[in-house]
A and B are shown apart, each in its own frame.
Chain A
Amino acid sequence: MAAVRARRRTAGPLFVAPFMVLFVLLFLGPLAYAAYLSLFQDRLVGGTAFVGLDNYVTAVQDPRLLRGIGRVATFFVIQVPVMLLLALLFALALDSGLLRLARVVRLGIFVPYAVPSVVASLMWGYLYGPDYGPFAQLSRKLGLPAPEFLSDGWMLGSLANIVTWEFVGYNMIILYAALRTIPPDLYEAAAVDGAGPWRIAWSIKLPALRPALLLTLVFSVIGSFQLFNEPNLLQRLAPDVIDSGYTANLYAYSVAFTSQQVNYAAAVSFLLGAVIVVVSYAVLLTANRGRSA
């Protein structure tokens, strides 16, 4: 008896061990190292010195970092609702069973997600081109002024368009999968009670989708605040619009690799991580309060 219990006690940790080892080595370790680095300052003249929280004090007052965070927050507020709404509409339409060629449509919407974001940005960068991009050529043929997708005023919208194009399909699949798990008897019962398709969508499907929607929302918070690939690639096309602090992540990168201030970059990254945690938590809290009310 005692031997069996002892074996049980050791079996648990053993099963968890492979995960824990990798988790500590590949996740907690680097995180702790970054935290450690963020407490130092390495200068070209004078070398490395312990500076405590100085890097964080500098970072919270760094106008370029704050502007970058502000910009991704704006991006989040505008882009995410549009993207999730589109994903929701597509998922509901596919689930309704009324669509012809549903499989083709589903695949078509999902394919952009399979395109690496680097390729997507390069492709859209070409489409946006002010001289030889197809939109510019078309509007010139029609005698209209060419749309300035890469100008200061449009850039955030142009980025939002790329990200939406990439991720609508991904979010749609999550929502669609959640819809497929709803037991069909609920629909039958609703139909018996006289509910039409819109009523079913509103009263059964949407409430059932709530956890999945929340999940996509939290993913989107993280994705938005970590916006990097798209602006990094469009920077080459519009260097005067996208500067090295255009998004918070871009700023951390440029501090680390352009200015070689690795320590400060670690502090910036931690601050950005903190912002993401706070925003994600706020989103969850708001959503849950909505439910209990």
Chain B
Amino acid sequence: MTNVSRRALLATASAVPLGAALAACGGGDDGGSPAAKPASQSDVDKAMTTPTELTFWTWVPDIQQEVDLFQKKYPAIKVKVVNAGRGTEQYTKLRTALKAGSGAPDVVQIEFQYIPTFTITDDLLDLRPYGAEALKDKFVDWTWGQVTGRDGEVWAIPQDTGPMGMLYRQDIFDKHGIAVPKTWDEFAAAARKLRTADPDVYLTCLSANEAGAWHGLLWQAGAKPYATSGTDITIKVNDEVAKKLAGYWGGLAREGVIGTEANFTDAWFGALNRGKYATWLTAAWGPVFLAGSAKSTSGKWRAAPLPQWDASAPSSGNWGGSTSAVIKTTKNPIVAAQFAQFLNSDPESAKLFATKQFFFPATKAVLADPGYVGDAPAFYGGQKVNQVFADISATVNASFGWPPFLDRAVTDWTETVGKSLAGKTDTVVALDQWQQRLTTFAKSQGFTVQAS
């Protein structure tokens, strides 16, 4: 498990680099178009035996092996896998193709958080008429919440996820007599203690350009910053919960007891290798990623849940992960929908994603598979890391939603909140600026912005 190159991991952990994070919930499809009539079993049988070619845009490396499982089951269907770039690069191409009215794929890889940016423009196919609702129980509840629209539409099928936890350096903790923090108060105390004990080590780094991690922490704290309903949008990125979070992290940053440097840069990889940071608050794709990126620290890391605001009610947020969605313009909706469903829910295919691409699973079956959760990598001193994150996944809040203009929210976060963390200025004030910028933008886009 550990001999995976960093490059492969970067490419794999589907949510990792491109910062942003986003998901589906509140996607507003204006006016709720009536759901198409359910496809009957005979329609499906006919479609699946008629020679058809699908185009599938994805950046997942080696996904051909999962696609092959589908083609083996349905020999009449040919799936053309196209790598149109990862994350935002692909979305830009997709939006261009959709605007041009031709060249869009049938099925596409979309991160959770970007789903509303495509439902607002009515570009995704509701998968309910194609039997998607029957899959609901196969997936972890919150992941299904992420792909479900306001009126119950199923916009995509979850593929991988990133419930957030904490990776920490057991050796550094032992050396300074620090216990694994269970609450954020303990975490702050540990940050101060470590800083005094060793000026070269910080407890953690909350990157000033990683809005995805911030959203995950907001999510854990129970915030519901975005809700879209038709042309109405509620923006509450500076409510009481968010202010608590901003006061906490802004305070630690200003005290100088945590780092704020940019994630996923050479300097940051170097810092992890050299033990500048004693923890990495990351997502479930983090363990494999770290094992490939900080090889020299093998055996020193362990995994634990995030520290809690309320230790009696553990919760977590999600950072990253993606789905397969069907584009509305597809000429073969039945086949495309069947493919998206098979790819992510077929037991063999779902298991392959977990063991070959090292995706953190979205299906309950793989998360309960002893072969998966029983894995005990040496990088983590033989700890069953997958089990730790499988348990965390069960504590992720199911009702977090994303805005229909995620890229903008991410950029504005970096230029307000992120900037205040790096510049050690008042993060709570920066939160208000973020709110202000988003409100102005939403209004300029024609939304009616609800006062929080």
Contacts and interface: CB of A to CB of B under 8 A. Distances in A.
Nearest to B269: A132
A44 B415 contact: no
Contacts of A257: 88, 92, 407
Interface stretch (A188-196, A216-224, A234-242, A265-273): A234-242
A239 B414 contact: yes
Given A131-B270, A260-B95, A44 B405 contact: yes
B262 A44 contact: no
B8 interface: no
A236 B262 contact: yes
B262 A132 contact: no
Interface string A219-258: 0000000000000000011111001100000000010011
Contact of B407 (A46, A130, A259): A259
A157 to B, nearest CB: 19
9 contacts: A45-B446, A46-B446, A236-B262, A239-B208, A239-B209, A257-B92, A258-B408, A258-B410, A259-B407
Q: Which of A43, A44, A129, A257 has the most CB of B within 10 A?
A: A44
Contacts of B372: none
A236 B209 contact: yes
B271 interface: yes
A43 to B, nearest CB: 4
B205 to A, nearest CB: 12
Q: Which of B121, B267, B276, B422 has the most CB of A within 10 A?
A: B267
A132 B414 contact: no
A126 interface: yes
A237 to B, nearest CB: 6
B411 A258 contact: yes
A126 B231 CA distance: 46
A221 B421 CA distance: 36
A270 B417 CA distance: 31
B209 A259 contact: no
A44 B209 contact: no
Contact of A239 (B262, B407, B445): B262
A260 B262 CA distance: 25
The 10 closest A-B pairs by CB, nearest first: A239-B209, A45-B446, A240-B422, A43-B446, A46-B446, A44-B445, A258-B407, A243-B415, A45-B231, A240-B419
Contacts of A258: 407-408, 410-411
A44 B266 contact: no
B123 to A, nearest CB: 12
A260 B209 CA distance: 20
Interface string B440-452: 0100111100000
A208 to B, nearest CB: 47
Interface in B396-452: 404-405, 407-408, 410-411, 414-415, 418-419, 421-423, 441, 444-447
B24 interface: no
Nearest to A58: B444
Nearest to B207: A239
Contacts of A260: 95, 405, 407
Contacts of B419: 240, 243
A257 B408 CA distance: 9
A44 B121 CA distance: 7
A243 B414 contact: yes
B262 A238 contact: yes
Contacts of A254: 411
Nearest to B416: A243
A254 B209 CA distance: 16
B267 A129 contact: yes
A238 B418 CA distance: 11
Interface of B: 30, 88, 92, 95, 120-121, 208-209, 231, 260-262, 265-267, 270-271, 276, 404-405, 407-408, 410-411, 414-415, 418-419, 421-423, 441, 444-447
A144 B370 CA distance: 55
A40 to B, nearest CB: 13
Nearest to A244: B411
Given A44-B404, A259-B408, A260-B95, A239 B271 contact: no
Contacts of B446: 43-46
Contacts of B30: 45
A240 B423 contact: yes
B277 to A, nearest CB: 12
Contact of A43 (B270, B271, B445): B445
Given A239-B262, A244-B415, A44 B447 contact: yes
Nearest to A128: B267
A43 B446 CA distance: 6
A129 B266 contact: yes
Contacts of B260: 240
Contacts of B261: 131
Contacts of A244: 411, 415
A252 to B, nearest CB: 14
Contacts of B405: 44, 259-260
Contact of A236 (B265, B415, B418, B441): B265
A240 B261 CA distance: 9
Contacts of B95: 260
Q: Which of A43, A130, A257, A258 has the most CB of B within 10 A?
A: A258
Interface in A108-135: 126, 129-133
Nearest to B419: A240
Contacts of B92: 257
A55 B410 CA distance: 24
A46 B208 CA distance: 34
Contacts of B441: 259
B267 A132 contact: yes
Contacts of A130: 267
Nearest to B441: A259
A211 to B, nearest CB: 42
A43 B444 contact: yes
A243 B430 CA distance: 15
A254 B92 CA distance: 12
A258 B408 CA distance: 6
A84 to B, nearest CB: 33
B120 A240 contact: no
Contacts of B422: 239-240
A133 B271 CA distance: 12
Contacts of B267: 129-133, 237
